[in-house]
Amino acid sequence: MAEEQTIAVYDSQSHEYHRAFQVFLDHTDQKLKAQKWLTDLIDRLPSRRVFIDAGAGNGKVTAWFTERFGRTIAIEPNASLRSELKRDCPAAEVVPERLLDAKVGAAGDLILCSHVFYYIDASEWLPNLERLVSWLSSSGVLVLVVQNHDTDCMRMLEHFFGRRFLLASFARQFQKGCGESYEVLVETVPAQIETTDFASAYTIAEFML
C-alpha cells in the first residue's frame, strides 16, 4: 500500500506558523501594495490621534504608521508574533487579547484589521465587526482586509475545505443592519505571490490551508 502523504497544519500560536508566515511574506508584494493604499488613506484622514491595529501580527505593518499617529494600540493574541511586535513597535500599546476580549479605551481614527477574519468562525464575523466599529472615533475609518475570494489561494481553500470569504456580501449584511449610520465601501487592491522554488510554494500552500 502506498504511503499517504499529508500536509502540515499550523497552530496559529506556534513557531512553525510564524516561520511559514514569514515565507509567505518573503514572496508576496501584498504588504507593499497595502502600504501604498493605506498611506494614501491616512493622508486624507481629518484626524490622526489614535491608530488601532486589530490583529497586528509581527508588527511589520504597524511599524509603517506609528509615527503618523499620536498613539498606537496593537492587538495581537499570538504570543510568538507578539514578541516581534513589541520589539519592532516599542511605542505601541500592546493588547494580548482576542478582538472580542480586548479592552481598548480609546477611539480610533484609523482601525486596521488585516487578514484576521480567516481565523474567526463565520458565525462570529458580525460580532467581531461590531466590536471594531464600536472603537471608531466620530470621523474614524475602519479598514477590514481579506484576500479576494477569486484568487488562486482562496479557490484552493474552497476546493479542500469549502470555505469562502465573501467580503462584499458581508459588507451588504452590515450595511443593511446599520442603516445610514456608516458608509461602507469595498475596494480590490491587486497583489501577487511569486516563488522560484517548490519548497517555498509548498509551504505557502500549506500556510493558506
Highest-confidence range of 5-19, 26-40, 73-87, 168-182, by mean pLDDT? 73-87
pLDDT at position 155 over 80:
no
Residue 145 gets the label, from left (phi > 0), alpha (psi -120 to 50) or beta, of beta
Question: Does 22 map to a domain?
Answer: no
Q: Which structural domain, as residue segments, surrounds residue 154?
A: 29-192
Helix (H, G, I), strand (E, B) or coil at 195: coil
Question: Does 90 map to a domain?
Answer: yes
Question: Does 153 map to a domain?
Answer: yes
User: How sure is the predictor about 143, in pLDDT bands with cuts at 50, 70 and 90?
Assistant: very high
- Distance of alpha carbon 178 from alpha carbon 147, whole angstroms: 24
Question: Does 162 map to a domain?
Answer: yes
Angle at 74 between CA 142 and CA 38, to 5 degrees: 40
pTM, two decimals, is 0.80
Question: Does 6 map to a domain?
Answer: no
User: How sure is the predictor about 2, in pLDDT bands with cuts at 50, 70 and 90?
Assistant: low
Higher per-residue confidence, 108 vs 197: 108
CATH of the domain at 92: 3.40.50.150
Model pLDDT, residue 190: 78
Query: Could you tell me if 61 and 34 are in contact, meaning their C-beta atoms sit under 8 angstroms apart?
Result: yes
Question: How many residues does this entry show for the chain?
Answer: 209
Question: Does 8 map to a domain?
Answer: no
Give how far Cα 112 sits from Cα of 1, 52, 106, 166, Å. Answer: 50, 6, 14, 18
Question: Does 127 map to a domain?
Answer: yes
Number of domains observed in the structure of the chain: 1
Per-residue pLDDT reduced to its tens digit, 89-129: 999 999 999 999 999 999 999 999 998 988 888 889 899 99
Per-residue pLDDT reduced to its tens digit, 163-181: 666 667 777 888 888 877 8
Question: Does 18 map to a domain?
Answer: no
